Amino acid sequence: MNEETEGWSGELGRRDGYPLIAVAFGAAMIALLAVLVPIPPAEGNRALLQVVIAGPLLAALLWGVGWVTTIRHASSGWQVGSYILLALVAMFAVDRGTGQANSAMAYDLTMLDEVKLDPNAHLAPPEHPDRGPISRRWIAFLKAMTDDQRATENQIGALQLQLLDNPYRLKNEAPDLLHDCARTEKGKALVRGYRARQEARAKELDAWIANSGWPEKTLVVLRDAARRYNGIHGLKEMTETQVALFDVDGERCALIARAGKAIPNWEWSWAFAGEADRDAYIANRERRGKLNGARNRIEAMTDREGELKPGVVTA
């Protein structure tokens, strides 16, 4: 054993000169912190900076604790060497933690590709959707949206305006409807209210994405998912079309109320008091057909672009 080696190992035996004990304690603390403190996902230069900055800083903190207790009594070589060892352990831990965080984030994002439409054209998350903070935020958004859709559609259905298409059912199931044609105003308020709430939800989702701090590639995926699933593309046009349809229903209701009775043929036509009402009814039906066509075109537009159909089902 040469003199240099003897001097190095000899320093370990000096009073309070036990730097390896401090290094072992620091490494144990790093391992514990790696388990208890989540490391955020990162990619590219950000991941590199996270390793080369956070690792040495953590090592410096733990080395400082060791310095006070024992390292300061060791030789200068061991003082430097102990820090280098701690820094390497910390950088490895941060690098490994970053990789695990990236894997967890990638799994979390898989939920977005598994979102489906249920039989009622409502957005439905997949089985076992809770895969992390991203999927939890989306579950909350989808639940709020679909719950609102169902509630609004039920309220619109309760107006029974769809029975205007069938004199027999109208007479037997909603005889008071023809005395309350103004209920179409409630329908207009319902679709306008849904639009306002959905636009507010979409704005909150966009703000969450912008302030989330996720890596840029993840933000691109989230922005695309928001575009496809936020339910506001075409919502303004859909709402205006639905409001116009309620106006048409109000006119139709008033015309039917004046007709008095139905002629039971294959189309269940109405017996109007005069040609003016009959012509007005025919014109009303044509306007309704054009508006339904406009609604279908809005839905087809979102289908082509892979987006959620906007609005609620009104008929």
pLDDT tens by residue, 65-93: 777 777 777 777 777 888 888 889 889 98
pLDDT at 14: 52
Question: pLDDT > 90: what percent of the chain?
Answer: 25
Cβ count near 275 (within 10 Å): 8
Rounded CA separation 244/280 (Å): 16
Structure token digits, residue 36 = 């208890």
Residue 40 carries which DSSP code?
A: P
Above 50 in pLDDT, residue 266?
Answer: no
pTM summary value: 0.74
3-state DSSP assignment of residue 263: strand
The answer to whether the beta carbons of residues 98 and 47 sit under 8 Å apart is: yes
pLDDT at 202: 93
Scanning 110-215, the segments in alpha helix (DSSP H) are: 133-158, 167-173, 184-210
Specify the higher pLDDT residue, 315 or 108.
Answer: 108
pLDDT at 121: 63
Pairing between β-strand 123-124 and β-strand 261-263 as defined by DSSP bridges: unpaired
Average pLDDT over residues 10-25: 66
pLDDT at 6: 53
Contacts of residue 73, defined as CB under 8 A and 6 or more positions apart, other chains included, come to 14, 15, 16, 17
Average pLDDT over residues 38-57: 82
Average pLDDT over residues 249-253: 93
Among the residue ranges 33-37, 89-93, 141-145, the one predicted with the least confidence is 33-37
Above 90 in pLDDT, residue 197?
Answer: yes
pLDDT at 225: 87
pLDDT tens by residue, 87-123: 898 899 888 888 888 888 889 888 888 877 676 667 7
Among the residue ranges 27-36, 81-90, 258-267, the one predicted with the least confidence is 258-267
For residue 269, the surrounding DSSP H or E stretch is: strand 269-271
pLDDT at 278: 85
Give the pLDDT band (50/70/90) at residue 239: very high
Rounded CA separation 281/153 (Å): 26
